[in-house]
Amino acid sequence: MDFFMRKEVLTHWKASDLWVIVFERVYNLSTIVEQYGPDSEAIKPLLKFAGEDVSHWFDKETEEFLNYTNVCSGKQVPFDLHGIPPHVLDTDKLNGKPVWWKNKDLQVGVITKKQRTVRIINTLTDTMTTLECCTEDSLQKIKDRYSALGFDVSHSAFTWMSFLTGKELDLEKTLDENNIPDESAHFEELCLPDDLHIPSILLFYNNVITPPLPLRLDPNLDLTFDIQ
């Protein structure tokens, strides 16, 4: 399961790449938009809230689309302040599949419980980069985020080390599991800014230059010479 920051979901706001959040779950609804067409009335509320949290459309307990009682008819009807999205009224298009907000095939991940900030110090290029990540991210995921910024840091070429302990980090573990704790709560208790201290990771380039081969001489070679 992948974890996302809310700001990451916000980048998926186009009809061809449309994500939304429902109760901390992240759904990619691009195929739904393609099925209905971007100009469909059912798609308009999705486009309006593309990349955002639409949990307010649903009942917290049942996770069904919210209804209200029509004062004229006395019947329960869908709450349509922003329009009625797919699978609320047109259940005939489900073809035996769950509604999109319960369809695990459309779920691409969940929202992180906590966003963290880490500073990466590349000792080869002498650069420092402040990176935001999810608290659930492994160091491998953080490395991927760093690489996405344009830095070539293949695992075989660099060693990732903790600035705090000086120990090599396990790329399969999270920051917490690598003994790089999140201390922002302590700063908050002391009324200090949560970015007062940003934990740092050191990148050391592994020198992979092959040493020269030892000189092999022909034992029959005459190396004597005369001084004139």
Predicted confidence band at 71 (pLDDT cuts at 50, 70, 90)? confident
Predicted confidence band at 225 (pLDDT cuts at 50, 70, 90)? very low
CB of 142 closer than 8 Å to CB of 133 = yes
Cα–Cα nearest to 117, from 179, 40, 200, 42: 200
- Check pLDDT > 90 for residue 215: no
Average pLDDT of the residues of the chain:
87
Residue-level pLDDT at 75: 81
What domains, with CATH codes, occur in the chain? Answer: 3-111 (3.10.120.10), 115-205 (3.10.20.90)
* Portion of the chain with pLDDT greater than 70, in percent: 89
pLDDT digits (tens, 9 = 90+) for 126-152: 899 999 999 999 999 999 999 999 887
Question: Which residues are CB-contacts of 178 (< 8 A; sequence separation ≥ 6)?
Answer: 139, 162, 169, 170
Question: Which residues are CB-contacts of 228 (< 8 A; sequence separation ≥ 6)?
Answer: none
What whole-number distance in Å separates Cα of residue 140 and Cα of residue 44?
Answer: 38
CA-atom Rg of the chain in angstroms: 28
- Check pLDDT > 60 for residue 227: no
Question: Which residues are CB-contacts of 130 (< 8 A; sequence separation ≥ 6)?
Answer: 117, 118, 119, 120, 198
Of 56 and 228, more confident: 56
Predicted confidence band at 4 (pLDDT cuts at 50, 70, 90)? very high
The per-residue b/e assignment along 44-80, b for 16 or more CB within 10 angstroms, e otherwise, is ebbbebbbebbeebbeeeeeebeeeeeeeeeeeeeee
In Å, how far from its chain's centre is CA 30? 18
pLDDT digits (tens, 9 = 90+) for 89-130: 888 778 889 999 999 999 999 999 999 999 999 998 889 999
In Å, how far from its chain's centre is CA 99? 25
Cα–Cα nearest to 113, from 185, 62, 38, 163: 185
Around Cβ 160, how many Cβ atoms within 10 Å? 21
pTM: 0.82
